[in-house]
Amino acid sequence: METTSPDLQYPIGRAPARPEAPLTPAERATYIEQIAALPAQLTAAARQAGGVRLEQPYRPGGWTGRQVIHHVADVHLNFYLRYRLALTEENPTIKPFDLNAWAELPDVAATPVTVSLALLEALHTRWVTLLWHLTEAQWQRTFYHPTYDITYTLDQALVQYSWHGRHHLAHVQLLSREG
């Protein structure tokens, strides 16, 4: 049973369904621009929340702002690598990982969030450059996610990964709204 308000857990709504058809160039551009904008938006949200609030959970039972920011860097690094694998191998099986265990690793508590924000800035520069240069055929390349038993096209992953960044940005933004 869910005990947390959906507005706190999913402030922008749940992840969208995987699109069945290939995205149009205009749709792709919108998602790529969202990915490109995320590092600056997340940095601004972290500054707005401030250091003390980043040590607090954004919802009861949720991660702290610090954990969220480090999580976004960790996961987006994996997302970028999934693209590179899909572009260089035939339907590779990606390596899932325990998100909660990663959030509890000692570097999360010991590393300033500015390190992960800088990592995101550099990482998204590379990722977005790659995304802008993909051909129509490359957008339909795939990888397999064994946890969900789903094969994703890079188009489908783009939709999910854009949502992921905006989802966690909204969590950090919640911290700056608290009393």
Dihedral sign for Cα 13, 146, 103, 62, please.
positive
Contact 27, 153 (CB under 8 A): no
What's the pTM value of the predicted model, to 2 decimals? 0.94
CA distance 177 to 179: 6
Residues with Cβ within 8 Å of 28's Cβ and at least 6 positions away in sequence, in order, are 131, 139, 155, 158
Q: Please state, in angstroms and rounded to a whole number, the distance separating the CA atoms of residues 80 and 130.
A: 9
Residue 3 has pLDDT above 70, yes or no: no
The tokens for 63 are 């991660």
71: Cβ contacts below 8 Å, ≥ 6 apart: 63, 99, 102, 103, 168
pLDDT level of residue 161 (50, 70, 90 thresholds): very high
Q: What is the model's pLDDT at position 2?
A: 41
- Range 88-97 average pLDDT: 97
Question: What's the pLDDT at 177?
Answer: 81
* CATH number for region 24-177: 1.20.120.450
Mean pLDDT of all residues in 121-148: 98
Residue-level pLDDT at 178: 59
